[in-house]
Amino acid sequence: MSKELYPHGFTEIMKRVVKISREVMIFFESVRRNIGSVERCGLLVGETDEEIRIFEAFEVENTRKSQVEFELSPLETLRIFEYADEKSLEVLGVWHTHPFWMARPSAKDVNGMENFPGVWIIISENDVKAFLADEKGYKEVEIEIFNVPHSAPSSSQSS
Ligand SMILES: [Zn+2]
């Protein structure tokens, strides 16, 4: 993964908030309540300008199948990058779980952040936390929940 995957960059932008759609937060909450014993992981898709908005969270196979670390399946990762491209969205970061530890970046995560800068969501049994990461380090940021307007033609429905 190289940094030009994040065209707007995070290094120079001191963002304080990550906006996450209600649907994605509901998903993260269900992951938190069913934390299990193996780390789960995936990618965050959305858009960014003066703020960061996450519309979708995809689960990706953890090829390590480990209780203490994760590695995103390269093939599934590629597919999500293609999907984001088709939708004119961006892959903005990763999410993963800490089944047996608090929702803070581990030493391994900090290494991973250097290679995969962006938004990092970490989910523990007790918390869903967001971090912004680049090669210089990371900081925790606030999560703000937003509603995605149902403007897509396919979502027209009679009530
Ligand atoms: Zn971790």
Contact predicate 43/57, CB 8 Å: yes
Distance from residue 90's CA to the centre of ligand 1 (Å): 22
Question: How confident is the model at residue 154, as a pLDDT?
Answer: 45
Task: Single out the catalytic residue among 4, 39, 82, 114.
Answer: 39
Residue 41 carries which DSSP code?
E
Here the CATH number for the domain that contains residue 20 is 3.40.140.10
152 lies in some domain: no
Distance from residue 110's CA to the centre of ligand 1 (Å): 9
**Known catalytic residue at 39:** yes
Contacts of 70 (CB under 8 A, 6+ apart): 39, 40, 41, 62, 64, 96
58 lies in some domain: yes
Distance from residue 14's CA to the centre of ligand 1 (Å): 23
Domain range holding 134?
Answer: 15-143
Question: How confident is the model at residue 97, as a pLDDT?
Answer: 98
* Number of domains forming the structure of the chain: 1
20 lies in some domain: yes
Q: What is the pLDDT of residues 74-116, one digit of tens each?
A: 999 999 999 999 999 999 999 999 999 999 999 999 999 988 8
